[in-house]
Amino acid sequence: MIPSSEIGEQALFISTLLAALSPSFASAAMASPEVIGCTGDWTKILEALKPLEPKPAGPMRLSASRCLPIVHGRDPVYPSPDGRKAFTSHAIDGLWVGSVDRAGANYTFPLHGFTSLWTPTVPFEWLPDSSAVLGVAQDKDRSGFALGGLQPYLFTETGGQTPLPVLTHPNGPLDDIFWIGGTGLAFATFGTRGSYYRPEHEDPHPTIALVDAKAGRVLDAVEIATIPTPPDYRHFVAASSRVDRSGRVRVLTAWRPDIWMLWDQGEKPRILPIHNKIKHPRYTLSMDGNKVLIMGNLSATGWICEFGNPCPPLTPQSGMIAELREVVSGRLIWSLTGKAYDFFISRVPAISPDDRYALITMQSEKEYVALVSMTDGSVLQRFEISGWASPTLGFSPDGKEAWITSGSEMVTFTIGTQQ
C-alpha cells in the first residue's frame, strides 16, 4: 500500500531536472510511474510502487499513483468517468464529493448516510459527464430508524444538493435504489423495509420497479408475490445492470440462498437457472449484458481471536475464484480455480468496455488484483494488494485505462495491446 504521507515538493524539481537531462535518460526515467498529490520522500514512494507493476509483461502497465484529499479514507472510493473527481460515502461521516487534486473543491454532505444492509453496492453514481453524483438521503431518528422513504438528489463537489422529484408508489415508500448507467434510470424497491421505520409499518405488497429518478416516474412495477417462484424480498443481496443501444434496461438481481432473477424492460421478471450459492455474491454483467462474471469469495477457514490471543493456524481452501456464465441459460463458460491461504472476501469485479478483460480480486499466498481474459478466464497479469482497505476496481469509459482505489490512494494503469 502506498503511504499517503509520502512524496513531496521535490516532484516538481525532479520533473524539471529530467527535462534538462539527455533525451535517452529522460525517456527512461519518465517511464517510471507518476506520483501525484503526495508529500514526503519520493524515492520511498517509487520503491513502494514496484509491487504494483503487473506481472508478467502484458496489456496493463502501472502509470500513476495519486494521494486523494479524503479525510476519513477508509471506505470504497469511486472516481468520476473523466478521472478528475471522486466520491466516497459512510453511514456516519456522510457523502464526500471532491476533486482528486488537493487544490480542487470538495464537500462533505452531513446527511444521514444510507448503506444497504444486504448489498455491496452503494446508492450513489456519477453522471456520465462527471458533473454531479446521483444519490439519496433519508430522514432518520437518533436511533437510526427511518422516518420516511429515500429521497433522490444530485450532489456536487461545491456543496450543491439538488432534490430530484419524489419517487412514490401505492405499495410503500422507496426503500432501495440501484442506479443504471448514470442517467437517472434505476432499479428500485418499494414497501420492503417496514420494520426499519418508526413507527413500524406493514409491507403487504413488496414491489420492485424500474424508475426514472430525474423525471420522478415509475416506468414499470411488479409485486414480488406475482413472480413465479418468487424470491423473499428480505433476502435481496445484489444487483447489476446494463442499458443496450436502444436504451432498454437489463437488471440481474441475486437473492439468498440461490435465486437469480433477470428483468428485461418491457418483459416480466424471470428466475434463471444460475446455480451459485455464494452467500454474499459480488458480480458484474458483461457490457453486452449476455454474460455475468461471478466472484467466489474463496477464503481460508479458521478462528478469529481477539485481544491478542493466539489462534490455531488457518485451514487453506481450494475452489472457485471466479466464473463466467451465460445469463439466460446459466451455462458455465469458464471457471477460475485456486487456493486461499487467508481470510478473504471478493470485491465487485470490473469489465472493460470492449468485454475483452476483467479486473478481479483474488486470494492465493497473498491478496492480488488480477487482469483476466473474458474469453477463457486465464490470468494475464496480477499485482499484490495485501493490506489494502476496501479496494474498488474500474476501467475508464474508453477502455484505455484501469484504476484501483484504496482509502486515500488511487492507482491508474494504461491498457495497451497484449505482449
Per residue in 19-66, pLDDT (tens digit) is: 332 332 223 333 578 888 887 776 666 666 678 899 999 999 999 999
pLDDT exceeds cutoff 60 at 4: no
In this prediction, residue 12 carries a pLDDT of 31
CA atoms of 124 and 97, how far apart (whole Å): 11
C-alpha grid cell for residue 159? Answer: 456543496
Please write the tens of the pLDDT for every residue from 216-262: 999 999 999 999 988 888 888 889 999 988 889 999 999 988 899 99
- Rounded to 5 degrees, φ, ψ at 30 are -70, -15
Q: Higher confidence at residue 333 or residue 24? A: 333
pLDDT exceeds cutoff 90 at 116: no
CA atoms of 109 and 124, how far apart (whole Å): 13
Q: At 72, is the pLDDT very low, low, confident or very high (cuts 50, 70, 90)?
A: low
Amino acid at 287: M
Nearest residue to 176 via CA among 205, 154, 206: 206
pLDDT exceeds cutoff 70 at 118: no
Return the minimum-mean-pLDDT range out of 8-17, 59-68, 320-329.
Answer: 8-17
Specify the long-range contacts of residues 141-148, CB closer than 8 Å, at least 24 apart: 141/198, 143/198, 145/196, 145/197, 145/198, 146/173, 146/193, 146/196, 146/197, 146/198, 147/197, 147/198, 148/173
Nearest residue to 118 via CA among 196, 171, 29: 196
pLDDT exceeds cutoff 50 at 16: no
Please write the tens of the pLDDT for every residue from 101-111: 989 999 999 87
In this prediction, residue 112 carries a pLDDT of 60
Tally the C-alpha atoms within 13 A of residue 294's C-alpha that lie toward its C-beta: 29
- Domain boundaries, given as residue ranges, for the chain: 53-415
The burial class, CB within 10 Å (0-12 / 13-18 / 19+), for 384 is middle
Q: What is the pTM of this model?
A: 0.87
Q: Which fold has domain 53-415?
A: Methylamine Dehydrogenase; Chain H (2.130.10)
